[in-house]
Amino acid sequence: MTEHDAVDCIVRLALSEDLCADLPACFSVLMRSRKAPFTDVTTAPLFSDEIGDARVFAKSSGVLSGSVPFRRVFETLDPAVSVRFRIEDGDRYGRGDTVATLSGSVSSILMGERTALNFLGHLSGIASYVDEIVRMLRGSSLRILDTRKTMPGMRLLEKAAVRHGGGTNHRMGLYDMVLIKDNHIDRAGSLPEAVKKVRAAHGSKYRIEVETRNIGEVRQALEAGVDRIMLDNMRKHDIKRALEIVSGGVEVEVSGNLDRRRIRRLRGLSLDFVSAGSITYAAPHADFSLLL
């Protein structure tokens, strides 16, 4: 499945959720590339062949993300609806700015309005939140990473939103990077044993990161020659000790219940990365409206 197909799947499921009483049946029809029996009991009796224009405007300032699924909503509903964005994903917008215009069937525009705005608001909210943190970290060595704490089915779009906000993606899933965490270590018997088993299975195919909980595990990870050490839920004085031990020999990432206030306190340390699930699961929703 290509990225285009994945976005298609997400959009079709979202439309089925909003416009079909029988979601599974409707989604199944859509995935076979056939027109689904969409129903809008409010719009249908009011409009039939009317053509009109609409604009999407911002009710706050931020960084745009979500233009791709926004467009795809209307391509799926009615390819005759024209959607034009005045700015690109990753661009900043201000309160009151018109970010997109639409032209076509009034009925189709209204049927797709909420689904399209949901994508735009959620993803622009993430991009805007990440942008705030990136600007806060400017001048330091720190880069902000996302995590796998994403909404099921939305990871591809949410991680794109992180990039639009100037952040960096961590691994996409469990398939593209080794991350040995506390449960792996405890069940394997020790940190060195866990690293040994992973290397025996994969060789150098994947980068290896190890989550460490104390200074002893930091020393073990360094001796094991891993690619990156994660300092998980450590206090600032322990982070400083860990950095002294590592001394630039390997990438260092800090993680564990980090919000903007705690991230700001790390600016002066010679860290490489800070990872925070909150940038995807706790970002405020960006507010947009569509007016005919």
CATH code for the domain in which residue 54 is found: 3.90.1170.20
Radius of gyration of the chain measured on its C-alpha atoms: 23
- 205 as an active site residue: the answer is no
Q: Are residues 46 and 116 in the same domain?
A: yes
Q: Are residues 262 and 198 in the same domain?
A: yes
- 149 as an active site residue: the answer is yes
Q: Are residues 231 and 108 in the same domain?
A: no
- Predicted TM-score (pTM) of the model is 0.94
Q: Are residues 85 and 142 in the same domain?
A: no
Among 47, 46, 67, 48, residue whose Cα is nearest residue 56: 67
Instruction: Tell me what pLDDT residue 167 has.
Output: 98
Q: Are residues 103 and 143 in the same domain?
A: no
- 132 as an active site residue: the answer is no
Instruction: Tell me what pLDDT residue 36 has.
Output: 75
Task: Report the distance separating Cα 121 and Cα 186, nearest Å.
Answer: 41
Q: Is the pLDDT of residue 35 over 80?
A: no
pLDDT digits (tens, 9 = 90+) for 190-235: 999 999 999 999 999 999 999 999 999 999 999 999 999 999 999 9
Instruction: Tell me what pLDDT residue 181 has.
Output: 97
Structural domain that includes position 26: 3-135+285-291
**Active-site residue among 181, 219, 241, 267?**
181
**Active-site residue among 143, 148, 149, 262?**
149
pLDDT digits (tens, 9 = 90+) for 74-128: 999 999 999 999 999 999 999 999 999 999 999 999 999 999 999 999 999 999 9
Residue 1's pLDDT band, with cuts at 50, 70 and 90, is low
Residue 22's pLDDT band, with cuts at 50, 70 and 90, is confident
**Active-site residue among 59, 92, 95, 114?**
114
Q: Indicate the number of domains in the chain.
A: 2
Across the range 165-171, mean pLDDT stands at 97
Q: Are residues 70 and 186 in the same domain?
A: no
Residue 260's pLDDT band, with cuts at 50, 70 and 90, is confident
% pLDDT > 70, the chain: 100
Residue 23's pLDDT band, with cuts at 50, 70 and 90, is confident
Q: Are residues 141 and 233 in the same domain?
A: yes
**Active-site residue among 89, 211, 217, 253?**
211
- 240 as an active site residue: the answer is no
Q: Are residues 107 and 216 in the same domain?
A: no
pLDDT digits (tens, 9 = 90+) for 261-280: 889 999 989 999 999 999 99
pLDDT digits (tens, 9 = 90+) for 132-163: 999 999 999 999 999 999 999 999 999 999 99
- 211 as an active site residue: the answer is yes
Q: Is the pLDDT of residue 2 over 70?
A: yes
